Amino acid sequence: MLTAAGTSFSPDSSRPPTSPPLQPPPSDSRSYASVITSSTPSITPFFSSSPATGHTLYFHPPIVHDSSPIGLCPPGLLDSEILKWKNCIIGTFLGSRPPFSMVKSSLLKQWKPVRTLSIFMLDNGTFVFNFDADSDKVFTIDGGPWYVGRKPVFVRQWDAHISFSKNEPLTIPLWVSFPNLPLHFWCVKGLSIVSSLIGKPLYSDIRTKKMDRLSFAQVCIEIQAGTDLPSSVTVMDGEGHSFVQEVMYEWVPPVCSLCNCFGHKTSQCSKSVAADQNSIPMEAPSTALPQMTAASKEQFATRSRNGKKKETGNWFRSPAADG
C-alpha cells in the first residue's frame, strides 16, 4: 500500500493482540486555504518530485524591460536541448491539410526511413518529423518536392528560431527549376547567384549536387509573399557578358495581396469579401459548376499508373496571375 508521499508500508503483524485499536487523528479546524499556505513540514513531501510526476522546476527571476517582465535565456543555456532536435524537420501545408493518418502513411511510404521516425502534429496543423538517423533527414530535405495526395508538403530544417505561429505563412520554401543552366554555374556559388534573383536560396536537390542530370538544376528557395515570381532572370559576369536564364516553378502557391501572405487568394480573402458585400448587392448563388479554363488544363497533366488516372502538377513556365 502506498501513502500520499509515495513511500510504502505494510501492516505490522507482530503487534500484540492486546494493543488498543488505532484512534482517528484529532480533527483539524483549520481551513483548506490555511493548510495550503502554511509552512508545515508535513505538507512538503506531498509536493516533492517523483519519477512519475515529471520535471521538478524552479523559479527563474525575470528581467524588466519597458515596465514588462521578460524571461531571459542566457546564451548557451539550452544548447544541449537544441542538439536533441538536430535531426528534426518541420512540415506545413497551405490551406486545409490532409488527415494525420493519411500524412503519416503517405510520407512513410515515400521516405522509407531506415531508422525510427517520430511524427507529431501541433494544434495549428504543423507537422514535426524527428529522425533517428541523420541520413534519413538529409534524404527527406534533398529529395523533395513531396506530395500527400495532390497537396504539396513544405519541409524545412528545424532551428531554434522557427515560430509555430497559427498565422498563414509570410514565406514558404519553393522548388524552382533552371533548365539548360550553363555548366560552370552548377556549383554552390553559381546556383546561389541565380537563385538569389528569386528569393533566399536554401539548398539544391541531390541530383543537382551530383550533376547526373544536366537538363535542369533544381533548387529550393524561400519565397516572400508579395514577391513577383519571374519567368526568367538575367545574369552578368564581370567581363560584361550576360545570359537570360529561364525559370520554372514546381508549384505556384496562392497568395493574397491584401494580407500579403500565402494560403489563400485575394478573391477568397475575408477582407475582400467584406468589401464586396458593402459595395455590391447580394446576388443569388449560381448553380452552374465551375469549369476548368484552358490555362488551368495546361497546369495539370493526366498520366496512368497501375490502370488508374492521376492528375499531377506540371512545372509552370510562368506563374499564374492571382485572381
Q: What is the CATH number of the domain that holds 109?
A: 3.30.70.330
Q: Indicate the range of 34-43, 81-90, 160-169, 224-233 predicted with least confidence.
A: 34-43
109 and 177 both lie in a single domain: no
Residue 2 binned pLDDT confidence (cut-offs 50, 70, 90): very low
| Amino acid, single-letter form, for residue 99 | P
Of 122, 157, 192, the position where a domain reaches its end is 157
DSSP state, 8? B
- For 41, 43, 49, 285, the CA distances from 30, given in Å and listed in that order, are 16, 14, 26, 69
Pull the grid cell for residue 91.
512540415
The answer, yes or no, to whether residue 313 has pLDDT greater than 50, is no
Q: Which residue has the cell 538536430?
A: 86
- Express each pLDDT in 154-213 by its tens digit: 888 898 888 777 555 567 788 899 999 999 999 999 999 999 999 989 889 889 999 999
188 and 214 both lie in a single domain: yes
- Express each pLDDT in 249-290 by its tens digit: 877 776 665 555 555 555 556 665 555 555 545 444 443 433
84 and 149 both lie in a single domain: yes
The answer, yes or no, to whether residue 314 has pLDDT greater than 70, is no
Of 256, 282, 306, the position where a domain reaches its end is 256
Of 157, 188, 222, the position where a domain reaches its end is 157
Residue 24 binned pLDDT confidence (cut-offs 50, 70, 90): low
With respect to residue 109, please indicate whether it lies within any of the assigned structural domains: yes
Q: How many whole angstroms separate alpha carbon 280 and alpha carbon 271? A: 14
The number of distinct structural domains making up the chain is 2
Pull the grid cell for residue 244.
537570360
- Express each pLDDT in 53-82 by its tens digit: 888 888 999 999 999 999 999 999 999 999
Q: Which residue has the higher pLDDT, 124 or 225?
A: 124
**5-20 burial code (b ≥16 CB/10 A, e <16):** eeeeeeeeeeeeeeee
Structural domain harbouring 221: 171-256
User: What count of other Cβ atoms lies within 10 Å of the Cβ of residue 219?
Assistant: 22
> What is the SS3 assignment for 100?
helix
The answer, yes or no, to whether residue 232 has pLDDT greater than 50, is yes
